[in-house]
Amino acid sequence: MHIAETVSATRDAIAAWKRAGETVALVPTMGNLHNGHLSLVREARRQADRVAVSVFVNPTQFGPGEDYDAYPRTLDQDSALLREEKADLLFIPSVDEMYPLGGNKTWVSVDDLGDHLCGANRPGHFRGVTTVVSKLFNIVQPDIAVFGEKDFQQLAVIRRMTAELMMPIRIVGAPTDREEDGLARSSRNGFLTAAERPRAALLHQHLQQARNAIAAGERDYRALEARLARALGEQGFQVDYFTVADAHTLAPAGPQHQDLVVAAAARLGQPRLIDNVTISLLNT
């Protein structure tokens, strides 16, 4: 596995593969890799000849009081895991490499899609995500980029950005990788205490309850949201949102919408957990 710390070294490696006629898949990450990330790497391997993985904790997607400084950085472990998965390139830029002119003055922003769900509680977050992802796309120029469906809003925003800016990149959404009890794998799960960890699985269970209720005919989505958010609160969660949304616009869903995502974000102790389930009423 080739390790590159600079934009120029990364471009040189990619250019050699492209000259050989090989396709390239990119998996952008912030490191502290776990099996959820590795499932994306495996999907990338299925999709392309070469797999590039970036590890960069992006400061512009963290808001005031968020956990940028505390975000775990485990580069040695990450490198070992990626070698086992036979990734071809690991790109590990510094903040100065990614933001060489200092304070960023150029931003990529997707209107509307970033205003709902996590965007409503984390102003500027998705502007930071789309800006750094567009930088990574410009550096690597992949044929394919793989993102996890756990971050449903992020995936939707990046798909819209890629389509509207006419980037010649196919965006692949990979299914959420879960623990045996249903908890979505996340780097932030490591912040759960031993007492909190079993309760964390309740987030996914309540999302499934919502999906089952909708499949059974429930259409008062606001009442459903309130009921299940209250139930999570009684289990010790601090709920940011529990929302039934239109899967295309991410706006709150009404009875006229057919493709739905039930998404939730909640703190349990220190970590903020997110998860979602989807449902198509055309199939119910």
Residues annotated as catalytic are: 37
Distance CA 131, CA 126 (A): 8
- Is 36 labelled as part of a ligand binding site? yes
- Is 119 labelled as part of a ligand binding site? no
Distance CA 51, CA 40 (A): 10
- Is 47 labelled as part of a ligand binding site? no
**What DSSP designation does 113 have?**
G
Which residues are registered as beta bridge partners of 264?
242, 275
- Is 173 labelled as part of a ligand binding site? no
Distance CA 274, CA 284 (A): 26
Q: What's the distance, Cα to Cα, between the start and end of the chain in Å?
A: 46
DSSP alpha helix (H) spans, the chain: 7-19, 35-47, 75-84, 95-98, 118-121, 125-140, 152-164, 196-200, 202-215, 221-234
- Is 161 labelled as part of a ligand binding site? no
- Is 31 labelled as part of a ligand binding site? yes
Which two tokens mark 250? 């991410």
User: How large is the C-alpha radius of gyration of the chain?
Assistant: 19
- Is 148 labelled as part of a ligand binding site? yes
- Is 256 labelled as part of a ligand binding site? no
- Is 160 labelled as part of a ligand binding site? no
- Is 18 labelled as part of a ligand binding site? no
- Is 202 labelled as part of a ligand binding site? no
* 95: Cα separation from own chain's centroid: 20
- Is 187 labelled as part of a ligand binding site? yes
Residue with tokens 């009081």: 65
Binding-site annotation, residues for beta-alanine: 61
Binding-site annotation, residues: 30-37, 61, 148-151, 154, 185-188
Binding-site annotation, residues for (R)-pantoate: 61, 154
Binding-site annotation, residues for ATP: 30-37, 148-151, 185-188
